[in-house]
Amino acid sequence: MTGLPVILRGSDSVIYKRSERMKKWKIPYLNVLPVLLIAFLLFRLINNTELSIGGLFETVYGSVAYFVAGLVVAYILNPAMVFFERLISSKKDSARVKKTKRAGIIAFLYLLFIGIVTVFVVAVIPTIRTGIREISDNMPYYAKVLERFLTDFSLADKAGLSGTIKTWINEGSGFLFDWLQGLDFSTIGGAVSSGVSSFATGVVRLGFGLVISVYFLYSKERLLLNLKKLMYALFGRRRTDAICEKGAKINSIFLDYITSRLLQSLIMFLLGLAVLVPLGVPLAPLLAIFMAVCNLIPYFGPFLGGLISVVLVLFYSPVKAFWVLAYAIGIQMLDNMVIGPKIMSDQVGISPILVIAGVTLGGTIGGVLGMILGVPAVAVVKLVFYDPYIERKLKEREIDV
């Protein structure tokens, strides 16, 4: 037993010497880890034929989707939390009092959020489900009505149309007939079931995201501090300060943009209910919701929503469809000339022409989601790249504009 302490002391000295020797190696761990990670992923891709890039992306996304959902929820609720904290907090509050107030504010916000979601599920979801079911059940009837209308119109000679235009109509009618006859209406139920499954998955992710977002909101200062420490270690103080400054501006752009788009959609929804319901338009609540969602796409959204709404109502009543068309045109003019350019230009700090450019380019690259996020993306590019470049070049050439 007397030799054991000697052995332990000897081993301690060896370990100490090894640790001192390892400190002198100065291995760049942060630089080596990304290389090792990339090498591991390449090895998995090469040696596993069943694992594709798309599958790898889906696996990674499925793993982090809950955290992304939590981060999004926390990002959306953070302005409201900051507002209430400024409203009820005082500089004299201790750290414990501040934490208690924050916990109460978070609880209130989540109760409010859950209440809004509950009202939406109870009041809006049944309306959407009823409207979709009615459209699905009447789809064969719609096809027959449209086919008969086009047949009568293409064979009629009352309008004095030229032969070329009648040929175009006949060719288009023939193509539409073939398409309508080839429709398999039994697949509509499968599509609806798939949509319900995707919606359920989204609800589960949102539920986990709500739980995770509580931690993000409650401990946001500590998380941001740790992130800032990491950035200081990786990039240095000057570059990190520049990144934080740009990040604050980008955050302001995206937050203001999301707020303005949601405000516009809410206005469109209320206007749709106020106009379409008193007119007795079929599916009025569903059409109001649909137009409001389409309005998330600047400029073109109201046009697309109005066009589809007119086509749906046309199967019920041409007169009602005319009123929907008049409403869609009026709301599109109001949005394009007054609401859209005013709110968007002021909120993101770009001109209406850049708003249009962001919508078109975003739609080309990313579809509907690209149309929605194209405007803040253009604003960020202008802020981060265009403006600093122009200012630097003007300063180099000593031009004062």
Task: List, for residues 293-308, the tens digit of each pLDDT value.
Answer: 888 877 677 778 888 8
What pTM, to 2 d.p., does this model score? Answer: 0.58
Q: What is the pLDDT of residue 57?
A: 62
CB within 8 Å of 349: residues ≥ 6 apart: 253, 379, 382, 383
Residue 168: what residue type?
Answer: W
Tokens 């209320």, residue?
Answer: 270
Residue 2 to residues 8, 13, 117: CA-CA distances in angstroms? 11, 18, 72
* Tens of pLDDT, residues 87-132: 888 878 888 888 888 889 999 988 888 887 787 777 666 766 776 6
Give the integer Cα–Cα distance in Å for 52 and 50.
6
- What is the Rg, in whole angstroms, of the alpha carbon atoms belonging to the chain? 30
Tokens 């962001």, residue?
Answer: 358
* Tens of pLDDT, residues 41-55: 566 555 655 555 556
Please determine, for residue 238, whether its predicted confidence score (pLDDT) is greater than 60: yes
Q: How would you class 94 by CB atoms within 10 Å of its CB: exposed for 0-12, middle for 13-18, buried for 19 or more?
A: exposed
Give the integer Cα–Cα distance in Å for 170 and 151.
8
Q: Are 315 and 138 in contact (CB under 8 A)?
A: yes
Percent of the chain topping pLDDT 70: 60
Please determine, for residue 174, whether its predicted confidence score (pLDDT) is greater than 70: no
Q: Is 54 helix (H, G, I), strand (E, B) or coil?
A: helix
Please determine, for residue 353, whether its predicted confidence score (pLDDT) is greater than 80: no
Q: Tell me which DSSP letter residue 397 carries.
A: T
Q: How would you class 170 by CB atoms within 10 Å of its CB: exposed for 0-12, middle for 13-18, buried for 19 or more?
A: middle
Q: Is 162 helix (H, G, I), strand (E, B) or coil?
A: coil
Using pLDDT thresholds of 50, 70 and 90, give the confidence band for residue 8. Answer: very low
Give the integer Cα–Cα distance in Å for 143 and 138.
9
